Structure 1
Amino acid sequence: MTTRLQTRGLSADPLLQWTNLALKTAEMMVASAQVIGHRTTRIAGAGLSPSEHDQREFTLMGQEKIEAATESARAMTERLIRINGRLWTEASTQMFAGASAMWSLATSPSLAASFERQAALFDAMRAPAFGATGFAGSAARLAHSVLKPIHARATANARRLGTR
């Protein structure tokens, strides 16, 4: 039987997100080192007159970097737009809740009502701290989306070039 926590998966736990990001980064770095080693050897071996096959590979190197950087920038921009929207919504909601609680406290008709409304104001002021924890994984998800196209190309190249 699947629990609710299991179905939320990676996005439910910022620590898991950062750990996964570290693993993906390490995997990308190893793959990149393999690809750089292969291509450097190939460039050195080609010398001043690379074959047609070498020229295609060398051209592909530049194209891949431009495409990965473009996809990465697009992913970052899209994610930041979503984060900004969420931040604005949260900030507005909390600002109005705080202002309402302060107004309610200021217009308390009795001492007993004042104590109750102070507690409500305290809850309204404490809510942003709890709301901020919801954004704890946003940076990790942003980093994942930025890394994904670069990781995909590096690992694909390591597989492709490692078989030759």
Structure 2
Amino acid sequence: MKTHRVRNTAGSSHYPLNAWTDLMFKAAETMTASTQVIGHRTARMAMAGPAPSMLDQHEFDLMSREKIEAAAESTHAMAARMLGLHQEIVIMAIQQILSGTANLIAVAGSSSLHQSGRRQSKLAHDTLRDSAEAVSQLNASLADIAGTGLEPIHARATANAKRLTEL
């Protein structure tokens, strides 16, 4: 039986290692960009002192507003992806139940001991394979959910690092 493939919304493959590696690189890029932005803004605050210019005030206001917006977008994106994941899990479970039931019926309908042994072996093999695939797909989906949540934060951090470097 072919199991349902978990849909991929974050751009990584169905393989958990690839999905988690993609997430790790995006997180590292986000942290690097955030470090640059924090350093720039902290220096700007220190230089502005108690009377920041209009440009500084705008930058400090942007700092707060974008954090709230990114957090809201991140939460929304992950919640939407989680709803889809619940449906995928139900589909995988139903497919495994149907496959297992068909294999059990085949074992019960065996006409010889040899045939029963082959069918039991197929039942065990199919069950283990399908379970391993489901776990692997779930693992990749969890990495995709984390990547979906990181995307708005990554986008802002990298855009700010680029913008502030050009100032």
Q: What TM-score do you get using the length of structure 1 for normalisation?
A: 0.82
Aligned residue type for 1:153: R
Structure 1, unmatched stretches of 5+, are 1-8
Q: Deviations over 1:38-74 (max 9, x none)?
A: 1111122222222222111111111100111111111
Alpha-carbon distance in 1 for matches of 2:30, 2:134: 33
Give the ranges of 4+ consecutive aligned residues of structure 1 lying more than 6 Å apart after TM superposition: none
Match of 2:135 in 1: 132
Match of 2:8 in 1: none
8 Å CA contact retained: 1:94, 1:124: no
Alpha-carbon distance in 1 for matches of 2:62, 2:125: 57
Going from structure 1 to structure 2, the CA distance change for 1:17 and 1:110 (only over 3 Å counts) comes to closer
Structure 1 position 148, deviation (Å): 0.9
Aligned with 2:150: secondary structure?
Answer: helix
Deviates more, 1:140-149 or 1:124-133: 124-133
Matching residue within 32, 42, 45 for 1:40: 42
Alpha-carbon distance in 1 for matches of 2:127, 2:108: 15
Q: RMSD between aligned alpha carbons?
A: 2.1
Match of 2:51 in 1: 49
Alpha-carbon distance in 2 for matches of 1:43, 1:136: 42
Percent of aligned positions that are identical = 46
Structure 2, unmatched stretches of 5+, are 1-10
Alpha-carbon distance in 2 for matches of 1:70, 1:128: 35
Matching residue within 142, 146, 149 for 2:145: 142
Q: What TM-score do you get using the length of structure 2 for normalisation?
A: 0.80
Q: Does 1:155 align with 2:155?
A: no
Residue-pair matches, total: 156
